[in-house]
Amino acid sequence: MTEWNPTLRQEVFAEAPDTEPERQRYFMEQCRILVEQRARETGHVPTACVVNFGCQMNAKDAEKLQGILEEAGFQETDSEEADLVLYNTCTVRENANLRVYGRLGVLNSMKKQNPEKIIALCGCMMQEETVVKKIQTSYRFVDLLFGTHNVFQLAELLYRRLTGERPVLDIWQGTDQVVEDLPAVRKYPFKSGVNIMFGCNNFCSYCIVPYVRGRERSREPEDILREIERLAADGVQEVMLLGQNVNSYGKTLAHPLSFAQLLERVEEVPGIRRIRFMTSHPKDLSEELIQVMAKSQKICRHLHLPLQSGSTRILRQMNRRYTKEQYLDLAARIQEAVPGIALTTDIIVGFPGETEEDFQETLDVVRRVRYDSAFTFLYSKRTGTPAAAMENQVPPEVAQDRLERLLAEVQRIAGELCGKDTGTRQEALVEGLDDHDPALVTGRLSNNRMVHFPGDASLIGRLVPVRLTEAKGFYYMGRMEE
Ligand code: 5AD
Ligand code: SF4
């Protein structure tokens, strides 16, 4: 993007602080100088577009990446015509990878029109050696590649690109580092995700996450609380505590603290009105957590509790470390301790060796627990995971048929459950104007269902009492009450 002077570049690197986050702040400033120079030359401020694929953890990373790019002088845009496009990738299922390859083709044609365009890739896919090799050989127009462990380094890597290096490739195999206090752009002013831990140690046999996100690391509670206090001061009402397995939070800290204890401390932060968290592994969900949820004023009446399969035999093959009976017992204890709680889940069909009987066990759990909603997935073979090497892979048409039957059952139950709160008065956090009718606003209930009711933009970000007047299958209509 700019002429570069090798001597100056060396000086900049020699002067950069060794400690974080100071080093990255320094590189943000150095990038900004180059970006501003470029803006003067071309008459427009260079634009940057971050595209996120995948889960809530990735969405949070994307906000950090956007924050860094903004500090580096770029103007944010939604259009992939931008001067810099960064894909934050996901690799949990193969479909996610295929989508990225498809879209890279489109970016390449744009780059032919605008050779100065910078194309950058980061996130989970980049932690796979085969992916990086493929990009290096077949997608040579990519300028910048980094992984999940050094997201915080974007400014430094970008500086290397802006001063002539190409491609810039820096992928770490793992880290025990948690870099605090970097900028982030928040998508919503009234709610925010907060990382409490990174990585996963569970090694479910189908899952690639432990390989691409590394070992479990918890943030210090003081850092988490300081961030939440700052968010509250900034007007945030609802926080979502994020981790691949929040129930094992704190085990690796010098002064261990349980997830339930962390929640109790978050509950004390003034200004925060609602607390959510994601994701819970059933095997680590403690009685202590159930009790904290039961007495909390702020923890939302919703729990995402991935089942994956209802068959104890398949669960063992999946290395989930609970049985069907243990899961059912846990779900029942939670439903009893927290009346009205909405349970949601993730289910995989077509795991290697899954028989019709195993699948019936899954349907049985779905009918007994009665989930508010469920994410249902076709098993996807991920290279390098133990399940990929298992025999008895289920034929795709069999898996597809099970998926359809499962979805029908999930939807039938979810529809029945949606009506049960009709007539009640509940608090809703107003998230925006209704997409279809500008005379309505859309709010989220504690149990994660949506409600649409008459209102205007002044309500956005407010927690308001709403009477639920009518159930519409998966959401409610309502009216605001004072
Ligand atoms: N195939 C299908 N679904 C998967 N998930 C994780 N790995 C796979 C896979 N290989 C699902 C699990 C998990 C969710 C985030 O993605 O259900 O809970
Ligand atoms: Fe994957 Fe299992 Fe870890 Fe979830 S808990 S990220 S499914 S290995």
State the pLDDT at residue 473. Answer: 86
Residues 6+ apart with CB under 8 A from 424: 467, 468
| Helix or strand run (H / E) with residue 78 | none
Question: Does ligand 2 come within 6 angstroms of the Cβ of 88?
Answer: no
- pLDDT of residue 446 exceeding 70, the answer is yes
d(C-alpha 156, C-alpha 154), whole Å: 6
- pLDDT tens, position by position, 313-333: 999 999 999 999 999 999 999
- pLDDT of residue 176 exceeding 90, the answer is no
**For the chain, how far is it from start to end, CA to CA, in angstroms?**
56
d(C-alpha 269, C-alpha 390), whole Å: 48
State the pLDDT at residue 376. Answer: 98
* Average pLDDT along the chain: 95
How do the residues of the chain divide into helix, strand and coil, expressed in percent and rounded to 5?
40, 20, 40
d(C-alpha 48, C-alpha 67), whole Å: 11
Question: Does ligand 1 come within 6 angstroms of the Cβ of 352?
Answer: no
- pLDDT tens, position by position, 236-275: 999 999 999 999 999 989 999 999 999 999 999 999 999 9
Distance 476 CA to ligand 1 centre (A): 30
- pLDDT tens, position by position, 138-173: 999 999 999 999 999 999 999 999 999 999 999 999
Question: Does ligand 1 come within 6 angstroms of the Cβ of 351?
Answer: no
d(C-alpha 6, C-alpha 23), whole Å: 20
CA 92 to ligand 2: nearest atom: 1
- pLDDT of residue 426 exceeding 80, the answer is yes
- pLDDT of residue 118 exceeding 70, the answer is yes
Six token digits for residue 252: 């690796």
Residues 6+ apart with CB under 8 A from 241: 193, 194, 196, 224, 262, 263, 266, 275, 276, 277, 278
d(C-alpha 88, C-alpha 151), whole Å: 10
In the chain, what percentage of residues exceed pLDDT 90?
A: 94
Cβ-based burial of 16 (10 A; exposed 0-12, middle 13-18, buried ≥19): middle
* Residue 209, amino acid: V
State the pLDDT at residue 212. Answer: 92
Residues 6+ apart with CB under 8 A from 440: 433, 434, 452, 453, 454, 455
**Phi-psi label, residue 423: left if phi above 0, alpha if psi -120 to 50, beta otherwise:** left
> Nearest ligand to the C-alpha of residue 390?
1
Distance 208 CA to ligand 2 centre (A): 8
- pLDDT of residue 2 exceeding 70, the answer is no
